[in-house]
Amino acid sequence: QSALTQPPSASGSPGQSVTISCTGTSSDVGGHNYVSWYQQHPGRAPKLMIYEVSKRPSGVPDRFSGSKSGNTASLTVSGLQAEDEADYYCGSYAGGNNWVFGGGTKLTVL
């Protein structure tokens, strides 16, 4: 199972919006609405930010939103804040009781 494809880096100024893409195949991202996104600060455990493509867990700011088109999912962070600077990973159910993650995107707040 190959990893999902994410850009290695993304950046934006405070208050701006940034979108991170996550490209897979029809077996994973495109085949299920089970895409999730995780935020990881250095030295910390990942934290669930989005599940089932576009749903936000309780406590996650509504500045974070998710979407999907075909084999590509996206995470958008609006109104960037300094604390949003972190690594972001997408994950997807890949069928056959397998899961796959993206390679991660380092988000820098300029």
Partner 1 sequence: QVQLVESGGGVVQPGRSLRLSCAASGLTFRNYGMHWVRQAPGKGLEWVAIISYDGKNQYYGEFVKGRFTISRDNSKNTLYLQMNSLRDEDTAVYYCAGDRNWNWFDPWGQGTLVTVSS
Positions touching partner 1 (CB under 8 A) are 1, 3, 32, 34, 36, 38, 44-48, 51-52, 57, 89, 91, 93, 97-104
For partner 1, which is the closer residue by CB, 14 or 41? 41
Q: Which residue in this structure is represented by tokens 């109104």?
A: 79
Measured from the CB of residue 95, what is the shortest distance to partner 1 in angstroms? 11
Q: Residue 62: in which H helix or E strand, if any? A: none
The beta strand positions in 13-109, using DSSP E, are 18-23, 35-40, 47-50, 64-69, 72-77, 86-93, 99-101, 105-109
- Angle (nearest 5°) at CA 106 between 103 and 109: 160
Measured from the CB of residue 49, what is the shortest distance to partner 1 in angstroms? 10
For partner 1, which is the closer residue by CB, 17 or 55? 55
For partner 1, which is the closer residue by CB, 13 or 49? 49
